Structure 1
Amino acid sequence: MPTETIHSHTPLPANVPVCPVRGSVIYPTMVQHIDASRTLSIEAIEAAMGEHKVILIVSQRDKDIDDPAGTDLYDVGTACTVLRVRKNPDGTVQMLVNAIARARVSNYTKGAYLRGDITPLDTETGDAVELQALVRELNDKFEHLIQGGKFMSPEAVQTIQGKDDPGEIADHIAFNMDFKVEDKQAVLEAARLTDRLRKVLTLLDAEQEVLQVQQKIRQQVKEEIDRNQREYYLREQMKVIQKELQGGDDGETDEAEEFRKKIDALDLKPEVKKEIDREVNRLARMHPDAAEAGVIRTYLTWVTDLPWNTRSEDQLNVQDAANTLDEDHYGLEKVKDRVLEFLAVRRLRQERAERGDINTEDVNKGPILVFTGPPGVGKTSIAQSIAKSLGRKYVRIALGGARDESDIRGHRRTYIGAMPGRIIQGLRAAGTKNPVVLLDEVDKLGSSYQGDPSAALLEVLDPSQNQHFTDHYLGVPFDLSEVMFIATANYPEQIPPALYDRMEVIDFSSYIEQEKLEIAKRYLLPRQITANGLKANQIQITDAALEKLISHYTREAGVRNLEREIGTVARKVARRIASSELKRAKVTDKELERYLGQPRYLPEHEAREDMVGVSTGMFYTPVGGDILFVETSIMPGKGLVLTGQLGDVMKESARAALTYAKTHAERFRIPRERLDDSEIHVHVPAGAIPKEGPSAGGAMVTSMISALTGIPARRDVAMTGEMTLTGRYLPIGGLKEKVLGARRAGIRHIILPKANEGDLRDIPAHLRTSMTFHVCETVDQVLDVAIVGGIAALEGKTEKAPKAPVKPRKAARDSAASA
């Protein structure tokens, strides 16, 4: 085929200026205006006018590039002759060109403008029969597309329909259709005419599919509009009919319309509103007295009463929150610190969200707190204080004994008497979507054939899922992400593991006696005075009376029984005042028995004197700590006898103590026959009370070696710790409660394992200064403090064991001071 040339039939120049264009492609035989505003393009136009008036028009690969290089342009463009150039007042240039040939660029060079080495593209016609078939198919598809609604200017349609040349038909269709630049460029680069026609046919097929989808969507929209208009007219007719049936009373309100107004005011999400509108439409089509109408009416009432978008503003002043917590609760410093940390983090997140640093949704994300501890220590009441300090509504949901999944998720509306679950009920009662919700007694959840409520709580407490919590009764998702959930439990090990994993545990330890005294004076006594109709000047309970009431009439971790006992005293005083027996009463520790009778609990006290075979241990219970005595007697016989309802672990401690004594018998001057021909009886008094735990190892070995050697153990020393056969002294738990119990019993010296030295920080400062703590790593160190005369007396290095308590080692004094 001959090479395409310019009108003068002279070959194209080998190197021509290049004008890059964005978002368009022109084809040979077209006459087009080109608007140039970039310096690169204007310089190329001026260069073309000064040479052969030939310029190459090439499309950019990326239209966002303002200063393209050769790599940013396609390799095939259109050579054009410049017919006219006009400069505008704003500095832009308008150029009229006549496209004459396709050209491939072999090399781009860039100076003030782009130039390119070009080679015209040869055009191959292909098979004549195939070409004729392609032209017919192209014309048919184009006409079908135009008749099907594809918009194109009438002038362009006439131009295309008036063309006879197959290449010009394909070029003009590709130019006037809104194809992608990449597709138009592919048509330009197709050297073979039949390939060019096929590409345009493929693009027309895709355009036809898009047009059909558009028409389908347009028809659906029209039908939806028609249906809505039809429903509107039918609804208006139904209003008129109902008004006539009701006697023409214009004052009668349309129930469905009232629900619609309430729902529109809620600003619901589209998917939620669609579901609720369907229920409203069902209600509107039903007779008011129909049975199902009552069910729908109740459902819509629940929906419209829920706080979908109502929230209370958080009061995120950390200092005000700290003051509120201190006013409402005494002690609980770790719990208060954690709550204030939560508030501080929330405040900083909110400030960052206001600056746009984080998403607003991230402000509400936070841990699920679970308060664990014995009854009566303030778990529930501090949740109320948290809500008060935040300025949020407070909702308490009691989960103790819940055995049905519907307690959490609600019942499906198909059941008679169906209603939402406790979570949705609590939010309705609160009236806001961001209250503080207390899930009380979460460890008391049960399960039955009706489902597992703890499994239903997984979605409620998971921050990544509770944005779309769906109650069975509502049937639509409700956002719980802004709710602050707090759970309480007495026994965290009874919480299902999957649920426990979603929570952050804050442990409430039992109150010490000093804390109970302060709580009684600040909160319990004033509350009971008011509750029993007394005035503050009509009753006075002395501190000594309150201390005796705490130690001799109650034994608990919290203060519930203490408040009951104070209430009993207040009632008896109120009766005496009401009967004019007296005008005011002062209750002292000596008069306490008159109101409450004999003491119910008598705490252990230290022994009267140092005794052989009797050592003092310490034990922990959820209601506080106390001391116990380990007694060992040696008598003729064989074997080891253990009494006092000891558990397996305590029995093992006794056997380990005996083995340690046998191992060190020669060093401690214990005759071998005394070990082999004696029955060693170890007894722990209070035999009706089961005892278990490893922390009696130190007391066991002290008691046993004292009995075997005949050297007494010190009465003013109590010990806690686990021993090994090799003589190591291992750590234990509950040190704070044990020390408090020992101090109550009059003990002044405490032996504890070295690993528990850090726990001394939890012990009140006034106890740390009034007691001496001996930190031990080995059983020898324990015996050195616990046995009168120490290791020297056991090894026979002193003639007579001293009776006075030995001074604590320097390390022990240092550890107590550092604690």
Structure 2
Amino acid sequence: MSDDTKIPARVPVCPVRGSVIYPTMVQHIDASRSISIGAIDAAMNGEKMILIVSQRDKDVDDPQGADLYDFGTVCKVLRVRRNPDGTVQMLVTAVARAEVQNYEHNGDYLEAELTAVQVQPGDAREMQALSRELREKFEAVAQNGRVSPEVVQAAHAKEDVGELADHIAFHLDFKLEDKQAILELVDAAARVRRLLTLLDTEQEVQAVQAKIRAQVKEEIDKNQREYFLREQMKVIQKELQGGEDGEEGDEAEVFRAKLAELDLRPEVRKEIDREVNRLARMHPDAAEAGVIRTYLSWVTELPWNKRSEDQLDVQKAAEVLEKDHYGLEKVKDRVLEFLAVRQLRKNRAERGELKPEDVNKGSILVFTGPPGVGKTSIAQSIASALGREYVRIALGGARDESDIRGHRRTYVGAMPGRLIQGLRSAGTKNPVILLDEVDKLGAGYQGDPSAALLEVLDPAQNQHFTDHYLGVPFDLSEVMFIATANYPEQIPPALMDRMEVIEFSSYIEQEKLEIAKRYLLPRQTEANGLKPNQIQFTDAALERLITYYTREAGVRNLEREIGTVIRKAARRIATGEVKRVRITDKELERYLGQARHMPESEGRQDMVGVSTGMFYTPVGGDILFVETSVMPGKGGLVLTGQLGDVMKESARAALSYAKMNADRFHIDREKLDNSEIHIHVPAGAIPKEGPSAGGAIATSLISALTGVPVRRDTAMTGEMTLTGRYLPIGGLKEKVLGARRAGIKHVIMPKVNEADLRDIPLHLRTSMRFHPAETLDEVLDAALVGGLRALEGAEKPAPALEETPGKRRGGRRSASA
């Protein structure tokens, strides 16, 4: 500060952003904010002195005292120019450092109460040494060309070390905090030392920059050399081909450009680059050129790093599943639990509590059940709920391992496996892939495709899945695999161990009715060109269509028959015969002909030697009759009705049980030894197998031997043992549904299966009576007219009389069709 310059005690404040001005400097300052323009006007109207001080945060547009540093520079305003756009430019000369004691508002600008700071010169010898060190380091930093020659010359002209330090600090690209710290150091020696530290850091940064610059230049030189050599190769190939265009070289460049856009792992990039270089060196007419060209096309079109964003919202998924499917409550619950686990894992991964690759780990779901119950459509709904692409891979009948892993490129017509093909069609690396009909896989002489699936479905291995055609690993860990099967027991055990089974049961008639009204009718009406108001099905018509024209667990044939009716109705409407069609149960025969299926109904009367069993097939449950006849003979046992080995063993066990309990049941042993027993299970053209008919066979046999009739309204299912125990069975829900359809009112079942009653609809549980049994005695007590008392000595009931056709005892209508 010059001695003849007097610093006022209060001066206007002009805040500046991102810069610091030091004493002895002359600087232009542009002002556009009202707070700065007000301060300039106040200075010009007063002593033409103003305080230039930096803001702590340059993004603040209307700074207050707390937003400004407490050290600034007092400047004398030399000239002010007002621009047409309202901004002001002033020329100032910095006079002295000043420490602000207090900031106050004075109208539209700030005013500071300050104290001028006297600079401490320091020891002369120390300052001389610091001056030399400072000049040497500044020259070293200035050699990189980022400091203009004029600034360097001006630095040489500075004799005062403090002024030199201020000059260097202003012109070098230091952070605002460092420049402000140098302004606040009133001790010249301390100021120079601080600046020397900053210069050392700057030198280190410049050294790193120089190293990076050299590496970049080397890489550029290498790329330019390769480009030059490739251009030379193009010219040579053009000459060798007699002046033709070097399309092959251009094609290699196209593949290189595509590969540059892919984020490939180093080992994958190395292998693919090798193939591109081979293509660039190869004659375009070479046989292998086409093979390489096809290979590179596959590689560049695969979604190596393209993925869709998961929409893991369990509530939304529940809405989608409920909208697309009726019933299947247990299936929906399990799918939503599966998605909820994924959502929680994703949330933990976003918080850094879980590795990203662990988000998709978990069970592989396999949907098992009869055809047409919604296994495939549930998988589509899951993909829709997640916002992922959907790919279906049909594995039924696949007998070649290459269907999964692809063919090696040495084979003619080689292609990748179905998984890689599905990923290319999906366009993302995290689709939902449905492996349809995994139970239909078969082993051939080309290998076992189910063994190839072991790696695909193992989360610990599939991130390095290698297709034989690609020859490089592809990450399948983000793919969501879902499998379907009709018969889970046909899936190889090693493959089944990697999957979690979700069972789809058959639809009951009420569910089929709702599905038909909600989904099948609107879909077929739209598909056959009709409007919803042009055709109407009554509930009775749909119920008759379900019962008498289809026999299935699902609804595929039902939709097919509905489509047939609608097409015939559409013909009538198109020809002008009618404008609207209403389909009733009585008119179905007009469109579809006579009923194709006549469901079995309960017996017309209580009969000796005829019991009612229950069975289950993939198309649903039903009842069957077991008939036993005792005739004079040599004591043999005849079994007919295409019975399997297990059912034959059940019949032999039933006969042994009857012989062991002959005295208790009052069976004549002499008659038993001199009679031929014939057991028949209609219909004879249908093969039958399974242990669950053991109770029905034993009941029919004992009834025939004792003359005690079996109740016609009672059906039974359960496996019997030689000692009379009643063992559990499967498919109880489907069997009960079939029995109810046949008019059965009492069901005898193993006591262990009581827990399965929860799966049966409530209206069926309340309209039927269930008899849990642990022993065959309990079965006979519930199945025979008169129960065990009739067997153990009570008076045998008289045989039931033949009923009048269409009626039952008590005036009840017959359930038979």
Using the size of structure 1 for normalisation, the TM-score is: 0.67
1:233 aligns with 2:228: yes
The residue aligned with 2:815 is: none
The residue aligned with 1:750 is: 747
Q: Which aligned pairs between 1:218-367 and structure 2 lie closer than 5 A?
A: 230-238=225-233, 254-367=250-363
Cα pair distance change 1:802/1:645, threshold 3 Å = closer
Aligned pair partner of 1:721 in 706, 718, 723: 718
User: What is the SS of the residue equivalent to 2:736?
Assistant: helix
Cα pair distance change 1:594/1:363, threshold 3 Å = same
1:43-97 Cα shifts (integer Å, max 9, x gaps):
xxxxxxxxxxxxxxxxxxxxxxxxxxxxxxxxxxxxxxxxxxxxxxxxxxxxxxx
**How far apart, CA to CA, are the structure 2 residues paired with 1:669 and 1:414?**
80
Contact 2:606 2:799 in 1 (8 A): no
Deviation at 1:795, TM superposition (A): 2.3
The residue aligned with 2:767 is: 770
**How far apart, CA to CA, are the structure 2 residues paired with 1:491 and 1:397?**
18
Q: Which region of structure 1 is more displaced relative to structure 2, 496-505 or 612-621?
A: 496-505
**How far apart, CA to CA, are the structure 2 residues paired with 1:799 and 1:453?**
63
**How far apart, CA to CA, are the structure 1 residues paired with 2:366 and 2:655?**
44
1:235-261 Cα shifts (integer Å, max 9, x gaps):
243466679999899999933333222
The residue aligned with 2:577 is: 581
The residue aligned with 2:476 is: 480
1:694 aligns with 2:691: yes
The residue aligned with 1:795 is: 792
1:671 aligns with 2:665: no
The one-letter code of the counterpart of 1:234 is: L
Aligned pair partner of 2:595 in 593, 599, 607: 599
1:525 aligns with 2:521: yes
The residue aligned with 1:759 is: 756
User: What is the SS of the residue equivalent to 2:692?
Assistant: coil
The residue aligned with 2:623 is: 627
Deviation at 1:343, TM superposition (A): 0.9
Contact 1:617 1:718 in 2 (8 A): yes
1:540 aligns with 2:536: yes
The residue aligned with 2:429 is: 433
Contact 1:631 1:683 in 2 (8 A): yes
Contact 2:707 2:796 in 1 (8 A): no
The residue aligned with 1:86 is: none
The one-letter code of the counterpart of 1:545 is: A
1:125-151 Cα shifts (integer Å, max 9, x gaps):
xxxxxxxxxxxxxxxxxxxxxxxxxxx
User: What is the SS of the residue equivalent to 2:310?
Assistant: coil
Aligned pair partner of 2:731 in 734, 755, 768: 734
**How far apart, CA to CA, are the structure 2 residues paired with 1:541 and 1:685?**
36
1:380-422 Cα shifts (integer Å, max 9, x gaps):
1211111111100011112222233222222222333332221
Q: Which aligned pairs between 1:70-469 and structure 2 lie closer than 5 A?
A: 230-238=225-233, 254-469=250-465
User: What is the SS of the residue equivalent to 1:429?
Assistant: helix
**How far apart, CA to CA, are the structure 2 residues paired with 1:643 and 1:399?**
38
Contact 1:370 1:486 in 2 (8 A): yes
**How far apart, CA to CA, are the structure 1 residues paired with 2:416 and 2:597?**
48
Structure 2 unaligned spans of 5+: 1-215, 802-817
**How far apart, CA to CA, are the structure 2 residues paired with 1:619 and 1:429?**
44
**How far apart, CA to CA, are the structure 1 residues paired with 2:476 and 2:796?**
77
The residue aligned with 2:552 is: 556
Q: Which region of structure 1 is more displaced relative to structure 2, 415-424 or 548-557?
A: 415-424
The residue aligned with 1:712 is: 709
Contact 1:789 1:801 in 2 (8 A): no
**How far apart, CA to CA, are the structure 2 residues paired with 1:777 and 1:323?**
43
**How far apart, CA to CA, are the structure 2 residues paired with 1:534 and 1:250?**
59
**How far apart, CA to CA, are the structure 1 residues paired with 2:294 and 2:750?**
65
Deviation at 1:427, TM superposition (A): 0.7
**How far apart, CA to CA, are the structure 1 residues paired with 2:436 and 2:430?**
18
1:98-118 Cα shifts (integer Å, max 9, x gaps):
xxxxxxxxxxxxxxxxxxxxx
Cα pair distance change 1:277/1:330, threshold 3 Å = same
User: What is the SS of the residue equivalent to 1:268?
Assistant: coil
User: What is the SS of the residue equivalent to 2:744?
Assistant: coil
The residue aligned with 1:615 is: 611
The one-letter code of the counterpart of 2:366 is: V
**How far apart, CA to CA, are the structure 2 residues paired with 1:242 and 1:647?**
75
The one-letter code of the counterpart of 1:721 is: G
Q: Which region of structure 1 is more displaced relative to structure 2, 693-702 or 758-767?
A: 693-702
Q: Which region of structure 1 is more displaced relative to structure 2, 518-527 or 488-497?
A: 488-497
The one-letter code of the counterpart of 1:470 is: T
The residue aligned with 2:197 is: none
The residue aligned with 1:653 is: 650
Percent identity between matched residues is 83
The one-letter code of the counterpart of 1:724 is: T
Cα pair distance change 1:256/1:587, threshold 3 Å = same
User: What is the SS of the residue equivalent to 1:254?
Assistant: helix
The residue aligned with 2:782 is: 785
The one-letter code of the counterpart of 2:611 is: S
Deviation at 1:683, TM superposition (A): 2.2
**How far apart, CA to CA, are the structure 1 residues paired with 2:279 and 2:370?**
51
The residue aligned with 2:682 is: 685
User: What is the SS of the residue equivalent to 1:713?
Assistant: coil
User: What is the SS of the residue equivalent to 1:618?
Assistant: strand
Q: Which region of structure 1 is more displaced relative to structure 2, 657-666 or 272-281?
A: 657-666
Contact 2:248 2:279 in 1 (8 A): no
**How far apart, CA to CA, are the structure 1 residues paired with 2:275 and 2:688?**
64
User: What is the SS of the residue equivalent to 2:737?
Assistant: helix
Contact 2:600 2:624 in 1 (8 A): yes
User: What is the SS of the residue equivalent to 1:557?
Assistant: coil
Contact 2:785 2:797 in 1 (8 A): no
The residue aligned with 1:814 is: none
**How far apart, CA to CA, are the structure 1 residues paired with 2:242 and 2:359?**
53
Contact 1:441 1:487 in 2 (8 A): yes
Q: Which aligned pairs between 1:34-73 and structure 2 lie closer than 5 A?
A: none
Q: Which aligned pairs between 1:566-577 and structure 2 lie closer than 5 A?
A: 566-577=562-573
Contact 1:788 1:802 in 2 (8 A): no
Contact 1:404 1:448 in 2 (8 A): yes
Cα pair distance change 1:249/1:801, threshold 3 Å = closer
User: What is the SS of the residue equivalent to 2:261?
Assistant: helix
User: What is the SS of the residue equivalent to 1:351?
Assistant: helix
Give the RMSD, CA atoms, in angstroms. 2.9
**How far apart, CA to CA, are the structure 1 residues paired with 2:494 and 2:539?**
47
Aligned positions, number = 584
Cα pair distance change 1:246/1:768, threshold 3 Å = farther
**How far apart, CA to CA, are the structure 2 residues paired with 1:451 and 1:666?**
61
Using the size of structure 2 for normalisation, the TM-score is: 0.67
The residue aligned with 1:143 is: none
Deviation at 1:566, TM superposition (A): 0.9
User: What is the SS of the residue equivalent to 1:662?
Assistant: helix
